[in-house]
């Protein structure tokens, strides 16, 4: 099957939305879901995985969520433009050097390379888009 025409991978979210994602997105999603199933606290949301709904073209950050039956088979979907804060604490690069995203309670996120003194603010939607495309920030 081609990646762009696959509409056979539905993801059912806790809000009732059904996302139709590609095989590539599904592979990333199922790998994270399997890895986090028994390792996260009972009510925690998992690592965001960026997927594209093939029916609408919208991009979402999917996170594993408890389903209520003792496993993490549920999904929590956040539109990508609203998802920047989900990446706080995640590793990335700033001008090619290791960095981390911080500033959850700030109006804009901070990409910081503390050992080297680099710190740059980015709008939360920008952080989400850059993290969805490899996490390579430039100051």
Residue 16 contacts by C-beta under 8 Å, 6 or more apart in sequence?
none
Q: How far apart are CA 46 and CA 66, in angstroms?
A: 10
Is the pLDDT at 2 greater than 50, yes or no?
no
- φ, ψ of residue 94 to 5 degrees: the values are -125, 115
Per the structure, the count of domains in the chain is 2
Asked if residue 53 belongs to a domain, the reply is yes
pTM across the whole model: 0.68
pLDDT of residue 136: 93
3-state DSSP of 61-90: EEEEECCCCCCCCEEEEEEHHHCHHHHCCC
10-40 pLDDT, tens digit per residue, is 888 888 888 888 888 888 888 777 776 666 6
Give 110's pLDDT tier (boundaries 50, 70, 90). Answer: very high
Q: Are residues 76 and 94 in the same domain?
A: no
What does DSSP say about strands 74-79 and 118-122: parallel, antiparallel, or unpaired? unpaired
**Owning domain of residue 54:** 9-80
Give 121's pLDDT tier (boundaries 50, 70, 90). Answer: very high
Give 120's pLDDT tier (boundaries 50, 70, 90). Answer: very high
Q: Are residues 52 and 90 in the same domain?
A: no
61-95 pLDDT, tens digit per residue, is 888 777 767 666 778 888 887 888 888 888 899 98
Q: Are residues 74 and 101 in the same domain?
A: no
Q: Are residues 26 and 52 in the same domain?
A: yes
Asked if residue 3 belongs to a domain, the reply is no
Question: DSSP alpha helices (H): ranges in 11-120?
Answer: 23-36
């Amino acid at each position: 099957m081609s990646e762009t025409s696959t509409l056979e991978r539905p993801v059912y979210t806790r809000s009732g939305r059904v996302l139709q994602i590609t095989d590539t997105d599904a592979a990333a999603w199922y790998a994270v879901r399997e890895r986090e199933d028994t390792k996260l606290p009972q009510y925690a949301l998992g690592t965001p995985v960026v997927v594209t709904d093939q029916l609408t073209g919208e991009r979402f950050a999917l996170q594993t969520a408890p389903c209520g039956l003792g496993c993490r088979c549920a999904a929590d979907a956040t539109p990508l433009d609203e998802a920047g804060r989900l990446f706080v604490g995640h590793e990335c690069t700033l001008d090619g050097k290791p960095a981390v995203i911080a500033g959850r309670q700030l109006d804009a996120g901070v990409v910081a390379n503390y050992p080297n003194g680099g710190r740059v603010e980015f709008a939360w939607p920008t952080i989400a888009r850059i993290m969805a495309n490899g996490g390579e920030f430039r100051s």
